[in-house]
Structure 1
Amino acid sequence: MTTPRPFPNPPNIPPKQPPKPPRSPNSQSGWLKPPNIPAKKPPKVPVSPRDRLDPAKQDAYQQLVAVFKTYGLESLSSKIMDYVKKGYDPDTISIMLQETPEWKARFIGNEERRKAGLPVLDPATYLATETAMKDVLRNYGLPKSFYDEYRDFGRLIGANVSPDEVAARARYAWEFTQSSQSAESKRLLKEWYGVDDSFIVGALLDPKLGQQAIERMGHTVQYGRIAAQGGFDVRKSLAQAWADLGLTQEQVTQGVAEAGVFAETTEDIAARFGDSYTETDALNETVTGDAEARRRRESLWQKEAGLFRGQGGLRANALGTGDGY
């Protein structure tokens, strides 16, 4: 049997040494030193241009910037500096700045007034008008999104809408959105004017709608709601006619209540005689005092009374052929 040969001893391999850094011919030790990197210095803060102005010009610059800041036009400070350095006086600079795009965007209502041939407002009057309108809308609790941009008031000012008119429009908007009867009003606004609930306020504040149109819309919807609550499905044209006649809410409410007493009965009587009598006829008689509608109703009731006269049926006076209904 052959004796196995022993394994040879592993070779004596020295461990690897980390590589040495390269030598520097300029160093006594022969090794490179880390570079001497200077610390970063903070950037120089540019000196404000106005610091280079003489005291008189610097004072003029500061005063103009303060004034234009009240207009919301801080962005014009660089232009103010440029004009001051060129030697323009404050009054001239104010006039020159009114031709800038920033000024025209800020006072956009004046641009619209100029196009319409209306006199422009001076800045103080313009700002006072904006403030008055903003106070009105805030007092009625309208969403801030309706008055958080300059152009919102610019449209109204440009259309020569006064703060008093804005107050009237806001009052209608508040009534439609806050009153207990607003659900019916909103329905009629949607049906008759195509105004969604979320756009009621915006529509009423639209400067394209005149004050009379706003009031007419408000009264028309109000009278339509009163009729609906009395059980009548009136058309927009009828409610609008009541608004155009200048009727009060009390007059419409009373007329609707009176028509509700006999409208349905008279309609049935008319059908028996092959005639026509509608809710509109009843409302025309009681709300607007239509004499012809009253005559037709009384004639129908007299015919009905004739059918039962002498038969123990309805009496003429029970049908209201006299002065009453």
Structure 2
Amino acid sequence: MTTPYIPPEFQEDITPDPPDRSQDIARSRAELAKRKMLSDRYEATLADYQKALRKRGLKASTRTYYARRVSAIRRALDAAEEGQAFAQRRVYETAGQWDKLLKGEHRNAYHALNAMFTQMGLGSLSGKIFQYIEEGYGADTIALLLQDTPEYKQRFAGNEARRKAGVAVLSPAEYLATESAYRQILSNAGLPKGFYDNPADFTNWIAGDVSPTEIKGRVDLAVAATTQANPAFKDALRRMYGVDQSHLVAYFLDRNRALPILQKQATAAEIGAAAIQRGFRPSIYAEAFATEGVTREQAQAGYAQLAETFQPMQAIARRFGLTWTQEEAERDVFEPGLAPGGTPFTAESVTEKRKRLASQERALFRGRQGASAGGLSQPYRQT
């Protein structure tokens, strides 16, 4: 099977990868290591002076000196540890490890909210969740505040379009369930991930209130056209609608084409395939035949009949200075009673024309037979 073409409307929706923060994380960790080394150095120096201060027999001046040094180094150590704590926070922030900056109930609230929004595809809001928790907001309030963020609105962009169109907005759970149904249908059909690897791929479908059932219908058409169809069907689609084989899936999933139109075109292509298999070109009336209910089986039977009668009828028509076109022959088989232009009973119908030509041919044949028989019956006259 040819790998299905992924149309630009899907490709353009794919969200770019998040920026690479590895260099920022490496720098923040290097700064933390430097701060920790400084703190360790002050701790070691402080320990040395404290040990010296505990010695017996020190002069008062020496003791005073050591005491002052201990005090100064302790202040430096406090500053170094504060810098280390800041550097550690920076590492957590850069790496997105916000939970490590929280404790107790605040950490539990963060985990619950972050898990919920990550499931929605909004893990990027983890920093906002941390910010709101630090500002003292409760979980319910934070959930509402996050719905006003650009990230949330983009994630559920289909709802905004539904709201403007006067269609009921889906709850996050309903929205996610609809996406999941789309994704499952496309995945089960074996389509490449370019069709369903990003929530934005489904925005227009949700905005247009396209049901998973309709998507299933589109996918079934696409699968039938790519994996189950014979070469004549694909050739008919190419000749009738300009659809290349590699574009077949995209054609049937095109959001700008209504499903009933696609279904009619698929049936018309089946009629066109029946024509091609019998050496005819796809009919200009294929869609009209499809609309009137001509099935693939009927088309195959009809063109099998045409394959036997078309050339003999053309030869008969030429003998009488007339024509017998493929279009007339098709209408005779699929729409008996219609005039050549397709209007019923306003002129001689194609069926009447065929019968008249056949009658004239029989009369001509009988006349020739009679003439031949009469000539042979004349008595022999000697000269």
Superposition TM-score, scaled by structure 1 size: 0.77
* Unaligned ranges ≥5, structure 1: 1-38, 314-325
CA contact (8 A) 2:122 2:151 kept: yes
Letter in 2 for 1:142: L
- Give the Å deviation of 1:278: 1.0
- Give the Å deviation of 1:51: 5.5
CA contact (8 A) 1:216 1:244 kept: yes
Q: How many residues align?
A: 273
From 248, 251, 263, give the equivalent of 1:215.
263
The equivalences for 1:88-167 within 5 A come to 88-167=137-216
The equivalences for 1:265-276 within 5 A come to 265-276=312-323
* Per-residue CA distance 1:116-157 (angstroms, 9 max, x = gap): 332221111111111111111122112222111212122222
* Per-residue CA distance 1:52-77 (angstroms, 9 max, x = gap): 65633332222111100111111101
CA contact (8 A) 2:236 2:276 kept: no
From 251, 254, 257, give the equivalent of 1:203.
251
- Give the Å deviation of 1:212: 0.6
Over aligned residue pairs, what C-alpha RMSD do you find?
2.3
Question: Which stretch shows the higher mean deviation, 39-48 or 111-120?
Answer: 39-48
Query: In the alignment, which residue of structure 1 is the partner of 2:362?
Result: 305
Query: In the alignment, which residue of structure 1 is the partner of 2:76?
Result: none
Greater relative contact order (Cα 8 A, min sep 6): structure 1 or 2? 2
> CA separation in 1, counterparts of 2:329 and 2:101?
85
- Give the Å deviation of 1:275: 1.5
* Per-residue CA distance 1:68-126 (angstroms, 9 max, x = gap): 01111111011112222223332232222122221122223223323333222111111
> CA separation in 2, counterparts of 1:107 and 1:50?
26
Letter in 2 for 1:232: F
> CA separation in 2, counterparts of 1:209 and 1:169?
10
> CA separation in 1, counterparts of 2:232 and 2:204?
30
Q: Decide whether aligned partners of structure 1 residues 149 and 50 sit closer, same or farther in structure 2, where only a CA change above 3 A counts.
A: closer
Give me the identity figure in percent: 39
Query: In the alignment, which residue of structure 2 is the partner of 1:16?
Result: none
> CA separation in 2, counterparts of 1:51 and 1:308?
102
> CA separation in 1, counterparts of 2:269 and 2:190?
22
> CA separation in 2, counterparts of 1:187 and 1:112?
38
> CA separation in 2, counterparts of 1:115 and 1:208?
19
Query: In the alignment, which residue of structure 1 is the partner of 2:352?
Result: 295
Instruction: Considering fraction of residues, name the structure with more helix.
Output: 2
